[in-house]
Structure 1
Amino acid sequence: MSQHVLSPTRPPRARTVTAAALTATLAFTAAPPAALAAPHAGSPAQTRHAQIRQLARDLVNAGAPGVIVRVDDGTGRPVEIAEQAPWARRDHVLKAGDEFRVASSTKTVTATLVLQLAAEGRLALTDPVDRWLPGKVPDGKAITLRMLLNHTSGLADYTEDAAVLPSILGKDRRRWTSAQLLAAGVKHPPLFAPGTKWSYSNTNYAALGAVLERATGASLAGLVRDRIARPLGLRHTYLATDSTWRGPHARGYEPDAAHMPPAVPAAWRHLAGPRRHGHVNVTGNNPAWGGAAGALVSTAQDWSRFTTALMSGKLLPAAQLAQMRTTVPVDPRHPGGPGYGLGVQTAAHPCGTFWGHDGGMPGYLTTGITDRTGTRSATVLISAELWAEFEADPKIAKAAQALQTAVTCTMFGKPVPAALRR
């Protein structure tokens, strides 16, 4: 999420990625060098496991309904943790292997599909959008597929369109298509001339979803299945086209209207779903409004396998992987700061430079990161999201920052910062 305060009319996006999302949502608190001093002599890996578990419990105690953590430092058995609030156990006992909505991390998969087709010569990143979607995108002759992939097109975000809001809240269960989502986005004036700035927009990936379907004649869900999930053996990874889940899954929640933090705008305080313990269970709401930008379902283990395959070159040839890692700064004032590539983001952290993506839609806030080679990986799910979207709950935010910092350092084989240890 961006560091600025959101306007009351600004809707959740299938996770908005900005400099703050990289430095706050992914890296979170940048611990000073003194806090990263070596642990006590003889401290085993299980000590870090216990520290992460305690930080996950702290996050639940701060108000998160549930937390899943998986960390693989590439040297041994991964850390896998699930913690949840006692009241949430009445709906489902959370497990580390449960499916969840990855939201905007879907963009990494969509970008991978586009780059696979580019490697096969079926499209080119320099293709103008008009070649594939003639007349569907304003200034479509000047916007290239690369600009869609790295968010430099200038297209407005479809999640800010009033027609999409009921779907985000779970009140409209329609099955949005890529073409419909694209149309919702391009109803609004472009933000800037193509290629001149960077601005995160889900409309870019709605357009890419439509391009993929046009170029292949296959559905986006079918492409995810046939080109990503089946080849990698990802049994719990699929693009959702309705509210159906295929396996055991994490329940997602948001506070009900009476318990919603004051910072959440009035338009976003009433979500559809069953009520329990001051919360709304949004698990059964249809995520199809996320489309190619955010409708993917996965598990922590599946996502680790995907990112490992991607970053190690198993899904893309070297030339296309290099294109994916070619970034633009998300903040022009800091050209050496966080960057966005083609469906991936990167930033430096005191414990190491990571690659990955974050995602969020009501009930699900996810972060998935890896190192440049895919040897190390980490995934965090928090089963509530509006607190982050609207910067509405400092208590949860502080606990989430502590957990993500510990997770990032553990992934890189570094000690949990001293300030976070108990």
Structure 2
Amino acid sequence: MEQSRARAAHRRAKLDVPPRSRLRSPSVLLPGFPQVRLPLVALLAAACVAGPVHAPAHAEDAPADHNRALRRQLQELTTAPGGPPGAIAVLKRGSRTEVVRAGVAETRTGRAIEATDHMRIASTAKAYSGAVSLQLVDRGKLRLNDTIGQVLPRLPRAWHRVTLRQLLNHTSGLPDYTADPEFLDLVTANPRRHFDSRRLVDFVAAEPLVFRPGARYAYSNSDNIAVALMAEAVTGRRYEDLLARLVYRPLDLRSTSLPQGYRMPEPYMHGYDVTPPDSPEDLSEVLSASGVWASGGIVSTPKDMTAFIRGYAGGRLISDRTRRQQLNWVDGASEPAGPGENKAGLAIFRYTTRCGVVYGHTGNFPGYTQLIAATPDGKRSLTFSLTTQVNKTNKPELLERVRAVEENFVCALLRKA
């Protein structure tokens, strides 16, 4: 017990990172980094720093009275204290697509956001690792009760009883590598550092499980790293190749990738740190994706994410038998929490709103906040993207406002024609 307390005290002390530069140290919170502000030093000196420019909202593709109200709500988010410079939502009902947007894709130019702009999709990438692993379950390559010890024996013996099922619904008890002091120090010293993505969980290899596997829910970025490693181990293929074969091609995702570096493909929505009264700072290319990999490193577009969530939430990629297992719900919310009441399945969440139920995932990453959701049949979908990071730690009041707006969009999605 005393040793655990000493370790916790040491971690708290190291998480309080002092500034290493006279430059502003923005509230940059990595997924699972609830207490860390990254001093981005010289990297931000070269980044575009501009005033808060909010261009008139772009007309949606299919104007309607209710969309004017939705557009106004997005616009109000972009002008709220700490709000995103840009926001876009794509609603699709059958073959009909409506795009609602506000603000700008880039403050320097005032360019409007397009549904084909690239962005970091953050922890919604966890759904993609679910799509890969559950298809491997269907093909007999993996079983939901396969353990880390059976598939990844090199990982710590203390973790060997954890199953694929527990990794996918965040009941594994694996310690979160993104909260490890050594990992945080390395990111702080060099945000563009290239990590060996397949060794990320080594940062917590000496740590015991946080709780007995299956005992409770705790969102951990380590879970989906282990899922990707299991998929590689049983197929002999790189996770990036599995994504291409099992997700991108079947769903015709032509603008989706899992990079290792920090560069963004053009065109892209610029992601910002917004900390009033300072001007927004561009974080789009500040961090290397190698440090999040299967847990949150994918780059995509609203158009591609719409196609993904319709196929994934609608069950197109997996058998009915595996889908029934996927939709066994436990108490747990996505990070950040999605609209309405949240329940966790296998790499998917159920959002029960006042207007009905959708399945999906959320995510946040420096510069970006994401929600993807669809009806259980996949026929109606919502992709909702903001160009700043909003979560319960850095902007709790704004998060509640965002969740309310997301729920209004879900209600518009589910409204009868």
The verdict on a shared fold, with TM-score over 0.5 as the criterion, is: yes
Unaligned 5+ runs, structure 2: 1-11, 17-27, 35-61, 334-340
Q: Is 1:57 matched up with 2:75?
A: yes
For residue 219 of structure 1, the aligned residue among 216, 225, 238 is 238
Q: Paired residue for 1:316? A: 318
CA distance in structure 2 between the aligned counterparts of 1:112 and 1:94, rounded to whole angstroms: 28
Q: Paired residue for 1:14? A: 31
- Is residue 166–residue 172 contact of structure 1 (8 Å, CA) maintained in 2? no
> What secondary structure is seen at the aligned counterpart in 1 of 2:382?
strand
- Is residue 370–residue 378 contact of structure 1 (8 Å, CA) maintained in 2? yes
- Would the alpha carbon gap of residues 401 and 339 (structure 1) be closer, same or farther in structure 2, given more than 3 Å must change? closer
Q: Is 1:70 matched up with 2:70?
A: no
Name which of structure 1's ranges 319-328 and 370-379 shifts more when overlaid on structure 2.
319-328
> What secondary structure is seen at the aligned counterpart in 2 of 1:72?
strand
Deviation at 1:375, TM superposition (A): 0.9
- Would the alpha carbon gap of residues 238 and 378 (structure 1) be closer, same or farther in structure 2, given more than 3 Å must change? same
For residue 119 of structure 2, the aligned residue among 89, 96, 100 is 100
Q: Paired residue for 1:142? A: 161
Deviation at 1:281, TM superposition (A): 3.2
1:52-71 Cα distance to aligned partner (Å, 9 max, x none): 11111111111321111111
Deviation at 1:282, TM superposition (A): 3.2
Once the two structures are superposed, the pairs formed by residues 307-346 of structure 1 within 5 Å of their partners are 307-330=309-332, 338-346=342-350
CA distance in structure 2 between the aligned counterparts of 1:170 and 1:325, rounded to whole angstroms: 41
Q: Is 1:388 matched up with 2:395?
A: no
- Is residue 104–residue 294 contact of structure 1 (8 Å, CA) maintained in 2? yes
Flag as ranges the 4+ runs of structure 1 deviating above 6 A.
none
- Would the alpha carbon gap of residues 310 and 389 (structure 1) be closer, same or farther in structure 2, given more than 3 Å must change? same
Deviation at 1:339, TM superposition (A): 1.6
Aligned length: 359
CA distance in structure 2 between the aligned counterparts of 1:317 and 1:131, rounded to whole angstroms: 24
- Which amino acid in 1 is paired with 2:142? L
Q: Paired residue for 1:253? A: 272
- Which amino acid in 2 is paired with 1:118? V
- Would the alpha carbon gap of residues 149 and 170 (structure 1) be closer, same or farther in structure 2, given more than 3 Å must change? farther
Q: Paired residue for 1:35? A: none
Q: Paired residue for 2:204? A: 185
Deviation at 1:376, TM superposition (A): 0.9
Deviation at 1:145, TM superposition (A): 1.1
Q: Percent identity?
A: 27
CA distance in structure 1 between the aligned counterparts of 2:29 and 2:97, rounded to whole angstroms: 32
Q: Paired residue for 1:282? A: 284
Name which of structure 1's ranges 358-367 and 315-324 shifts more when overlaid on structure 2.
315-324
CA distance in structure 1 between the aligned counterparts of 2:332 and 2:254, rounded to whole angstroms: 34
1:221-279 Cα distance to aligned partner (Å, 9 max, x none): 121112211222111111122123334111111136x857xxxxxxxxxxxxxxxx342
1:335-386 Cα distance to aligned partner (Å, 9 max, x none): xx6321110011311010111000011001101111111111101111111x
- Would the alpha carbon gap of residues 108 and 226 (structure 1) be closer, same or farther in structure 2, given more than 3 Å must change? same
Deviation at 1:298, TM superposition (A): 1.5
For residue 228 of structure 1, the aligned residue among 247, 250, 254 is 247
- Would the alpha carbon gap of residues 150 and 329 (structure 1) be closer, same or farther in structure 2, given more than 3 Å must change? same
- Would the alpha carbon gap of residues 280 and 217 (structure 1) be closer, same or farther in structure 2, given more than 3 Å must change? same
Deviation at 1:163, TM superposition (A): 2.9
CA distance in structure 2 between the aligned counterparts of 1:86 and 1:349, rounded to whole angstroms: 29
- Is residue 16–residue 200 contact of structure 1 (8 Å, CA) maintained in 2? no
> What secondary structure is seen at the aligned counterpart in 2 of 1:369?
strand
- Which amino acid in 2 is paired with 1:67? A
Return the structure number with greater relative CO, CA threshold 8 A, min gap 6.
1
Q: Paired residue for 2:411? A: 409
- Which amino acid in 2 is paired with 1:392? K
- Which amino acid in 1 is paired with 2:131? T
Q: Paired residue for 2:305? A: 303
1:119-156 Cα distance to aligned partner (Å, 9 max, x none): 11112111110111114134233111111111111111
CA distance in structure 1 between the aligned counterparts of 2:344 and 2:262, rounded to whole angstroms: 30
- Which amino acid in 1 is paired with 2:64? Q
C-alpha RMSD of matched pairs (Å): 2.9
Q: Paired residue for 2:146? A: 127
> What secondary structure is seen at the aligned counterpart in 1 of 2:357?
strand
- Would the alpha carbon gap of residues 341 and 87 (structure 1) be closer, same or farther in structure 2, given more than 3 Å must change? closer
> What secondary structure is seen at the aligned counterpart in 2 of 1:147?
helix
Q: Paired residue for 2:351? A: 347
CA distance in structure 1 between the aligned counterparts of 2:227 and 2:119, rounded to whole angstroms: 23
- Which amino acid in 2 is paired with 1:77? R
1:261-305 Cα distance to aligned partner (Å, 9 max, x none): xxxxxxxxxxxxxxxx34243335322211111111111121111
- Is residue 90–residue 98 contact of structure 2 (8 Å, CA) maintained in 1? yes
> What secondary structure is seen at the aligned counterpart in 1 of 2:159?
coil
CA distance in structure 1 between the aligned counterparts of 2:314 and 2:284, rounded to whole angstroms: 36
Q: TM-score, normalised by structure 1?
A: 0.77
- Is residue 134–residue 140 contact of structure 1 (8 Å, CA) maintained in 2? no
